[in-house]
């Protein structure tokens, strides 16, 4: 399993001014860095690829859809804009050397919904993502559907729902991305949800229940790593904690969750490496 860090542990926006975080992550003993594509015009895939190669790091990418790119909108122009945005994210991922692009890519993040999603909502999402997946397949990129909690989406809160949408899309390069912060709210069992994802699991966000340092809260880490060990999981897993509020997405960081990003990595990585060893994944 590749262990990494989400860049928002150190910054609130990715640009060429933050390229040094790649070196920083490498120096802290991580295998990859997860780069957010929320501010896509500021992302320079060629510069990222060069820096990754120079230090010997892997990369994954992620994003969320906003109102103007909501592929479940009743407005076909908004859905088309969402498809274009996701295709652009796929291209950026490919151009920087990545193979995984994931996140809340199936509907607007924090949508002001007043009713449950309809079957048409599901169809809009599946049809749009099928188009994106076909484009991504030609570039060798996989899409990861990330279930998030009920306060951040009304469409996919659980692994079971993500698998349903994956089946509706019907593309082999559509996979599952789990996140312990959201699972702590929505799943009955960390172990069962992880096993349910099975061979389709390609990315995992390893967060404490408050998004703090892994091992300092309520998450069932033994259940998670027991499942990962049984699956012989070899994919990506990133610590994800946000350091500040951003102008490009809601992070809800109202207090300091760790002393700093380096402390999060040092202490979190030591805890996670012990679990890897305990469950035969070292």
Give the pLDDT of residue 244.
64
Give the pLDDT of residue 121.
98
At residue 86's C-alpha, the angle toward residues 238 and 113, to 5°, is 85
Query: What secondary structure does DSSP assign to the chain, as a single string?
Result: -EEEEEGGGT-SS-SGGGTHHHHHHHHTT-SEEEEE-TTGGG--HHHHHHHHHHHT-EEEEEEEE-GGG-TT-S-HHHHHHHHHHHHHHHHHHHHTT--EEEEEEEEETT---SSPPPHHHHHHHHHHHHHHHHHHHHHT-EEEE----TTT-SS--SHHHHHHHHHHHT-TTEEEEEEHHHHHHH-S-HHHHHHHHGGGEEEEEE--TTSSSTTSSS--HHHHHHHHHHHT--SEEEE----S--SSS-----S-SSS-HHHHHHHHHHHHHHHHHHTT--
pLDDT in tens, 242-270: 666 677 667 777 888 788 878 888 999 99
- 134 CA to centre of own chain: 20
Q: Where are the domains of the chain?
A: 2-278
Give the pLDDT of residue 248.
67
Give the catalytic positions in this structure.
146, 240
**pTM of the entire predicted model:** 0.96
CA distance 176 to 200: 6
Residues of the chain with pLDDT under 50: none
- The topology under which CATH files domain 2-278 is TIM Barrel (3.20.20)
Tell me the chain's radius of gyration from C-alpha atoms: 17
Give the pLDDT of residue 260.
80
Structure tokens at 71: 């592929």
Number of Cβ within a 10 Å radius of residue 54: 11
Give the pLDDT of residue 192.
98
CA distance 274 to 272: 5
């Amino acid at each position: 399993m590749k262990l990494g860090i989400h860049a928002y542990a150190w910054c609130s926006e990715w640009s060429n001014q933050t390229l040094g975080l790649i070196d920083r992550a490498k120096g802290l003993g991580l295998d990859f860095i997860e780069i957010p594509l929320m501010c896509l015009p500021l992302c320079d895939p060629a510069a990222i690829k060069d820096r990754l190669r120079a230090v010997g790091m892997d990369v994954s990418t992620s994003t969320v859809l906003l109102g103007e790119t909501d592929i479940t909108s009743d407005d076909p122009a908004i859905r088309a804009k969402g498809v274009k945005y996701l295709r652009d994210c796929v291209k950026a991922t490919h151009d920087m050397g990545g193979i995984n692009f994931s996140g809340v890519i199936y509907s607007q993040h924090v949508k002001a919904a007043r009713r449950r999603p309809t079957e048409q909502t599901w169809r809009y999402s599946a049809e749009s993502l099928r188009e994106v997946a076909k484009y991504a397949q030609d570039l060798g990129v996989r899409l990861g559907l990330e279930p998030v909690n009920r306060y951040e989406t009304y469409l996919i809160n659980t692994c079971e729902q993500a698998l349903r949408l994956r089946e509706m899309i019907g593309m082999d390069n559509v996979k599952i991305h789990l996140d312990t912060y959201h699972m702590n709210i929505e799943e009955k069992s960390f172990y069962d949800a992880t096993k349910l994802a099975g061979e389709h699991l390609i990315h995992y966000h390893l967060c404490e229940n408050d998004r703090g340092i892994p091992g300092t809260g309520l998450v069932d880490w033994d259940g998670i790593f027991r499942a990962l060990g049984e699956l012989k999981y070899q994919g990506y897993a990133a610590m994800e904690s946000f350091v500040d509020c951003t102008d490009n997405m809601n992070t809800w960081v109202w207090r300091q969750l760790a002393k700093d990003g380096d402390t999060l990595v040092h202490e979190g990585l030591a805890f996670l490496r012990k679990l890897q060893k305990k469950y035969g994944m070292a």
